[in-house]
Amino acid sequence: MKVTIIGANGQLGKDLIKVFNKNGLNPLTHQEIEITDFLQSRNVIEKYMPEVIINTAAFHNVPECEKNPEKAFLVNSIGVKNLANICRNNDIILVHISTDYVFDGKKNSPYIEEDIPNPLNVYGISKLAGEFFAKKVEKHYIIRVASLFGISGCRAKGGGNFVKTMLNFAKTKEVIQVTSNIICSPTYTFDAALKIKEILEEKLPYGIYHVTNSGSCSWYEFALEIFNQIGANIKVEKRIEDEEIAGVKRPLYSALTSNKIRPLRHWKEALKAYLEEEKIF
């Protein structure tokens, strides 16, 4: 299977590279492909003529999306439209990575693929628009992920993620405050990458899939588990957030689950595997 990964130097992109066979794999970074430029993207993709494109590229700094909606829609929507047109014209399968932020958090139980999106902010709206463009390709998979943590960290967060931040606090703080009323689905990027590969290899029906580790928790509970697993002696206090944080509305409950695929391992098991990969143990 000839696979092109767009956003290959990102947190998920790097783990996708790990799990796919190197033969026929073509990883592309932002320096090599600019998805907002249709002609440049078409030239790059048609040079390799993959069977599958996995698009992890996104502008996902939520506050910056609110300040710069034009860029958010250019990358998260128009960029996907460009890829969709190229895939449709060349009979390429499009795997597009989306987000839990397409939901408003009002359900208060894990969202399944059939739930109706209702994003609250520019980031979520632009990602949902991208999903609509991805659906224009007959052979498409829309993979919604959430609360990612991976060994390489998130480029938009300077190579960090929540777990890395907590590990750093364990070395530098005695007391921290962590949000206790925002519920998420912590997801190990290596597990997500394996599941995306499985979906492709098993040739599951095209459509939307939620790919997250099993279970859900608050960020406070996530922090407690991190410190428990590494044996850190740090006091964690609860902090309550409003739906609007620093002028940006966010869903207070955005846990995902799937009724279409076998569940991934529990997030606590995934966290242990991640910490082993980080060589914490």
What are the percentages of helix, strand and coil residues in the chain, rounded to 5? 40, 20, 40
Report the range of poorest mean pLDDT among 154-158, 239-243, 256-260. 154-158
- Return mean pLDDT, the chain: 94
Q: Is the pLDDT of residue 42 over 90?
A: yes
Cα angle for residues 71, 77, 80 (degrees, 5° grid):
120
Which pair of structure tokens corresponds to residue 239?
A: 């902090």
Which pair of structure tokens corresponds to residue 132?
A: 């609509």
Residues 163 and 274 sit within 8 Å (Cβ to Cβ):
yes
| pLDDT for the residue 280 | 73
Which pair of structure tokens corresponds to residue 167?
A: 């590990």
Residue 138 is classified by DSSP as: S
Which pair of structure tokens corresponds to residue 160?
A: 């960090």
Confidence tier at 281 by pLDDT (50, 70, 90): low
Q: Which uninterrupted H or E stretch holds 14?
A: helix 11-19
| 88-111 average pLDDT score | 97
| 151-157 average pLDDT score | 68
Which pair of structure tokens corresponds to residue 177?
A: 């405050």
| pLDDT for the residue 153 | 65
| pLDDT for the residue 204 | 97
In whole angstroms, what is the distance from residue 201 CA to residue 120 CA?
A: 34
Confidence tier at 12 by pLDDT (50, 70, 90): very high
| pLDDT for the residue 156 | 62
In whole angstroms, what is the distance from residue 164 CA to residue 71 CA?
A: 28
Share of residues in the chain with pLDDT > 70 (%): 97
Query: Is this model's pTM higher than 0.85 or not?
Result: yes
| pLDDT for the residue 154 | 67
Q: Is the pLDDT of residue 88 over 90?
A: yes
Residue 181 is classified by DSSP as: S
Cα angle for residues 209, 250, 81 (degrees, 5° grid):
50
| pLDDT for the residue 247 | 82
In whole angstroms, what is the distance from residue 191 CA to residue 7 CA?
A: 18
Residues with active-site annotation: 123
In whole angstroms, what is the distance from residue 180 CA to residue 240 CA?
A: 6
| pLDDT for the residue 84 | 98
Confidence tier at 249 by pLDDT (50, 70, 90): very high
Condensed to tens digits (0 to 9), the pLDDT of residues 47-76 reads 999 999 999 999 999 999 999 999 999 999
| 98-110 average pLDDT score | 96
Cα angle for residues 240, 234, 246 (degrees, 5° grid):
30
Residue 56 is classified by DSSP as: -
| Residue extents of the structural domains in the chain | 1-276
| pLDDT for the residue 14 | 95
Confidence tier at 35 by pLDDT (50, 70, 90): very high
DSSP state string for 206-247: SEEEE---B--EEHHHHHHHHHHHHT---EEEEE---SEETT
Given the candidates 3.30.230.30, 3.30.230.10, 3.40.50.720, 3.40.1410.10, the CATH classification of the domain at 1-276 is 3.40.50.720
Confidence tier at 158 by pLDDT (50, 70, 90): low
Condensed to tens digits (0 to 9), the pLDDT of residues 199-222 reads 999 999 999 999 999 999 999 999
| 216-236 average pLDDT score | 95
In whole angstroms, what is the distance from residue 190 CA to residue 7 CA?
A: 15
